[in-house]
Amino acid sequence: MTSSERPEEIGIPPSGFDEVVDWFDRASTNLVLLEPYPLPEVRTAMHAFERAVRDHVRLYEARLSPPGPLPRTLSDARAILRSDHAWFTISLEQLEWFYGIVDHEDHGGHRQALGQYGRVVAEALRRHRDDERAYFGPALPAPEDASR
């Protein structure tokens, strides 16, 4: 196998949440394009993505539970963000389901389905992050960035 024939590597996940989402989206896109990633590498990427999403939900849920009532527009926005968090938990379970199919019967169509679903989840997370930034305001650091 020459260097030009080597499959692209998924690589190590970056440190920031938004960067992890972008990284996972690229890996998912490459699955759709039938990049021949080894299954253990796909599994490792999924675990890193799942961990990042679960950490994000945990960190932000605490911030979405302020004491006292909010104005209606903020209350509605908070409800949407919290609903998204619940859906992302379900989406991670679905991602695992798709991976289970690939693990059981590894072929291009199943890998493409896994990749497509990964892309859908990544795109939903990007929209969600835009909504979070609008809710919290651009000057408020993200919880995972607060230590910088």
User: For each of the chain's 148 residues, which pLDDT tens digit applies?
Assistant: 334 455 578 989 999 999 999 999 999 999 999 999 999 999 999 999 999 999 999 999 888 887 778 788 888 999 999 999 999 999 999 999 999 999 999 999 999 999 999 999 999 999 999 999 999 885 455 555 443 3
Task: Write down the H helix ranges in 67-107.
Answer: 72-104
Q: Is residue 126 part of a domain?
A: yes
The pTM for the full model equals: 0.85
For residue 134, what is the DSSP state?
H
Residue 7 forms part of a structural domain: no
Q: How many angstroms separate the CA atoms of 148 and 146, rounded?
A: 6
Residue 54 falls inside a structural domain: yes
The answer to whether residue 145 sits within a structural domain is no
User: Cα dist. 52→21, 110, 125 in Å?
Assistant: 9, 24, 11
Domain count, the chain: 1
Domain contains 59: yes
In a domain, 57, yes or no: yes
Question: Domain range holding 35?
Answer: 17-138
Does residue 143 belong to any structural domain of this protein? no
- Can you give the CATH number for the domain in which 22 is found? 1.20.120
